[in-house]
Structure 1
C-alpha cells in the first residue's frame, strides 16, 4: 500500500525515519513529510544552516515552542496538499504535536486512514499545558492510535477513545548489534548512556562510584544535577553518544544500566531492547511490565533501590560467566519475541489490514 510518514524529522534515525525504512523493507510505497525544515532559523544551529539573525531565530523559536503562528499554519496546509497529491492509503503520524484537528478532518476526506504513534506521554502532568493541546484535540480524528505504554491505553479510554493498542519501542538491527571486541575508549564494567532526570539516578551512580565500580557516564542534561561537578571531576565533560559510538560503548561494558523516565511515566524504554541486542547484560529499574519482557536474573536483572543495585553489580562482576550468560539469554529472548522496528511496522500494517477487512 501507499504510506505517508509524518513527523518533526528531528532525531530521525531511530524515530520516524526508522518506520519509513521499515515500511519500505516490507515492500510498501512510502512517502515522507517532516516539519523541521519549516524552522530553519530556529536555534538548532548544529542541525540547520542559519544566517545568525537573532530576530529570525526568536521568531521561529517562539512559534515552534508554543506551536502557533504562520509557520505552523503553513505546515498544516502543506500536509493536506501533499495528501491530496499522493493519495496515501495510510497516514502514519509520529508524535503529532504540530498537527491541527482540522488538518486530520481534511485528510480523512481524501479517503486515507490516519494512525498516530507517540513515544512520549501526552497525558503526563509534567509537560506544559500548551505542548500537547493540538494532539489532544485531534485524538477523535485518528482512526487508530498506538500507545507506547500500557498507561496511555487507559488514558485514551478514560477520555472516551477506544481505538488504541500497544506498540512498544524497538531496536534497529543495523545499528544495535553485537561487536566481537570492546572499544578501548569505552571499556568499563558498568555504563549508563542517557539523559539526566532528578529522580535519584545521579545518586545511584554516585553510590557505585563510591564503591569503586569502574563506571562510565554519557548523556545529556547532566549539568542540571547537583552532582555535576563531582561527575566532571570523575569523567570530564559528560557528552551524549549517538549511532555507531553508542553501539560501540554498549558493547564495551560488562553491564549497562537503565533508568526509566518519570517525565513520561515509563515502565520500560527503548534501551531495554537496544542493550540486549548487543549481548551486554542489562541492569534496569524494576517494573512489573519490564519483568514480562525479560526474566529476572536469567535474561536481565533489575534493582528496586540503590543498595540492591550495588549488591547485584558486585555479584555479577565477581561472576563474569553468569554475566555473559545473562547477556546472551537476553539477546535470544529479544530475537524470539520480535522487538525490531520491522516487527513494529508489521504490527501497524496488520492493524490497517484488520480495519480494511483484509485479514
Structure 2
C-alpha cells in the first residue's frame, strides 16, 4: 500500500502526528506533507477571523502544502498512491484535490478529522469547497453524519476516538515522578465555563485538584485546594494521566462531544478515568468496571470522595479500562487499519 499522509506534523502530543505514525506502520511506502508551522502567521489569523465573520475567504497555505502534494503526485508517475490521507485539511484547496483526481484517478482521497466539522469554528472556506471531492470522510462525531452529507460529502463513516500505543501507555514511574506530576484529582485541558464550575465545586468541598492548562486557568491560581500548572506536553502528558489518582474527563461543549481524545488516552495510560456520562462513553467502557461516570457536580463529588479512599477498587477499574483499550482495538494502528479497509472496500 502506498500512502500520501497530509496533516499537522508538529508537537509530540499532537494526535495528527500519532495517526501518521500508525500509517507509517501500515503502509508499504509512505510520503508526508506537513500543513502547519509551529507559529501561525498574521495573515492566517486575519483570514480565519474574516471567515468566522461570514466572509468566504480561504486560509493561506503557510507551509506550501498544496504545491507539495501536487509535486509528489506529479513525480509519482505510474506509481500511483492508493490513498491520499488528509488529516483536518483546512488549508488544502479544491484545485489540489482535482489535480490528484486527474493525474491519479485510482487514488482514494480520504478526509479525517477529530473535530466537529459541521461547526463553523472548525471549518474553512478551503475545506468547504473540498468536501464533495473526498471519497470518504471519517468523523469521530456520530451525530454529524447527515450534516456532512448536507455539506456535499459523498460518503461519511463514523469512527471512535483512538490512542497512540507508542505514546499513551503505562510507564514504570518512580514515586518522585508520580508526586511531581500527579495528585488526588487532575485535569489536563483548556478552560471552559462548565468544566471550571465543576472543578470549583470540588475544591470548595475539600477535594484537592491539579489542573494543567494555560490561558484563563491562570485566573484561578489563588484558590484553596486548586493547583494550576502550565500545560503539559510530550511524555509528561501521558505520565500525568497515569499519576493522578483520579483523572477527570470533561467533554468540549462547543463541539457537542460525546467522547474525546482523553476518553481513550486516560485508560490507555493506566489512569483511572472519571468522565461525563454519555451513551458513547457507556458503550466504550463499562461503568464501575472499566471507568466511572458522573452526570452532575453532586455525583462528581460523591465519586471523587469514594474512590480517593477506595484504592483497590480504583486500581481495579483502571486496570479494566487499560485492558478494554487493548481488547477492543482502540489504538491508532488497529483503528486506522479498519478505516483503510473501508476505504479500499475490503472486509473489516
Given the two structures, how large is their TM-score scaled by the length of structure 2? 0.87
1:320–1:265 Cα change, 3 Å: same
Q: How many residues align?
A: 334
**Partner residue of 2:54?**
none
Which stretch has the larger CA shift, 154-163 or 206-215?
A: 154-163
C-alpha deviations, 1:159-204, integer Å up to 9, x for none?
4535111122211112111134442212311111111112x11111
SS of the counterpart of 1:263? Answer: helix
Over the aligned positions, Cα root-mean-square deviation in angstroms equals 2.6
Whole-angstrom distance in 1 between the partners of 2:63 and 2:48? 11
8 Å Cα contact 2:66/2:93 also seen in 1: yes
**Partner residue of 2:87?**
94
Per the TM alignment, residue 221 of structure 1 is displaced from its structure 2 partner at its CA by: 3.0
8 Å Cα contact 1:5/1:16 also seen in 2: no
**Partner residue of 1:53?**
none
**Partner residue of 1:49?**
none
Per the TM alignment, residue 62 of structure 1 is displaced from its structure 2 partner at its CA by: 3.5
1:358–1:229 Cα change, 3 Å: closer
Which stretch has the larger CA shift, 10-19 or 88-97?
A: 10-19
**Partner residue of 2:170?**
178
Per the TM alignment, residue 151 of structure 1 is displaced from its structure 2 partner at its CA by: 1.4
- Listed as ranges, the matches of 1:1-359 within 5 Å are 1-11=1-11, 13-37=13-37, 42=39, 58-59=42-43, 61-62=45-46, 68=58, 71=61, 74-86=64-76, 87-109=80-102, 110-111=104-105, 112-124=107-119, 127=121, 131-159=123-151, 161-181=153-173, 182=175, 183-198=178-193, 200-223=194-217, 228-231=220-223, 238-354=229-345
C-alpha deviations, 1:237-278, integer Å up to 9, x for none?
531111211122122111100000112221001111111112
Per the TM alignment, residue 124 of structure 1 is displaced from its structure 2 partner at its CA by: 1.9
1:174–1:279 Cα change, 3 Å: same
SS of the counterpart of 2:229? Answer: coil
Whole-angstrom distance in 2 between the partners of 1:22 and 1:237? 33
**Structure 2 spans left out of the alignment, 5+ residues:** 52-56
Whole-angstrom distance in 1 between the partners of 2:13 and 2:26? 18
Which stretch has the larger CA shift, 60-69 or 291-300?
A: 60-69
Per the TM alignment, residue 358 of structure 1 is displaced from its structure 2 partner at its CA by: 8.4
**Partner residue of 1:46?**
none
Which stretch has the larger CA shift, 246-255 or 150-159?
A: 150-159
1:10–1:35 Cα change, 3 Å: same
Whole-angstrom distance in 1 between the partners of 2:25 and 2:60? 36
